[in-house]
A = this chain, B = another copy of it.
Amino acid sequence: MITLAEVQAFCTVARAASTPYTLLQAVEGITAAMGFRYFALVHHIDLLNPGSTAVRLVNYPRNWVDAFEEGRLYAADPIHRASHTTTIGFAWSKVAAMISLNPRDHAVLATARSAGLGEGFTIPAHVPGEVNGSCSFAMRTGEELNAEQLPLVQLVGSFAFEAARKIARATIAPIAAAPQLTERQIECVALVAQGKTDWEIAKILGVGAETVTQHLKDARDRYGVTKRTMLAIRALFDGAISFTDILR
């Protein structure tokens, strides 16, 4: 049984880790200390740039990893799918109650079992605008989870993922400084992000359609982009608008 003090120590180490290798060692250590055999700290795919900035620390059995990649299971993996429906960790044995499993899912789970993966616990990690991720810990086939310590396992998973995320993010070049939009421009951009046309935005704001067109023209200029889609995404990225503004 792991203690809170050990978790806090791991937290400190993880937070200070500046390379994947440092973090990997820390995760290996705490995985064993928690009584687990395997871990997988991953972003759920990055189809466009595989490997580049995506988080990926795994010590699963080799034959399972191979099967996973060969079968392109990352998008369909039921554990990953289940992790997209919750904010806290869950035991793999509870997955059937979280999502509906199709025959293919059962096949995936069976393959995992035959590769030596037993019961596991997965902590989801989502940030709007980032590929979904998760941190999983697993036993060998036949061993049982210690339900008592699962809250601590969840903490470890959260800290581990955030540490990996920070390391991955550090490798990304900073984007150009965010220009300041005027209030009116922000209102227009927020409505653009909702898929409104210039005419609709004009009605909503109570001004002429040409005025809206002009505000968006100016806003595009400030960001140095030529498409309203890019405008919306840049504004979203630097916080000029938020998902909260857009989706209801």
Contacts and interface: CB of A to CB of B under 8 A. Distances in A.
A33 to B, nearest CB: 16
> Do most interface residues of chain A lie in helix, strand or loop, or is the interface mixed?
loop
A97 interface: no
Given A53-B244, A155-B151, A128 B126 contact: yes
Interface string A209-248: 0000000000000000111111011101111011111111
A126 B239 contact: yes
A99 interface: yes
Contacts of A125: 87
A93 interface: no
Contacts of A7: 151
Contact of A88 (B159, B183, B194): B159
A52 B248 CA distance: 9
A145 to B, nearest CB: 15
A48 B183 CA distance: 10
A123 to B, nearest CB: 9
Interface stretch (A61-69, A114-122, A173-181): A173-181
Contacts of A237: 128-129, 243, 247
A233 to B, nearest CB: 6
A158 interface: yes
B11 A151 contact: yes
Contacts of A190: 48
A162 B246 contact: no
Contacts of A129: 84, 236-237, 242-243
A129 B154 CA distance: 22
**3 tightest A-B CB contacts, nearest first:** A195-B230, A195-B227, A132-B239
26 contacts: A4-B4, A4-B151, A7-B151, A8-B148, A44-B239, A46-B242, A48-B190, A75-B180, A75-B242, A84-B129, A88-B159, A88-B162, A100-B178, A129-B237, A132-B244, A151-B159, A155-B155, A172-B244, A173-B248, A195-B230, A229-B232, A232-B232, A232-B233, A233-B246, A233-B247, A236-B236
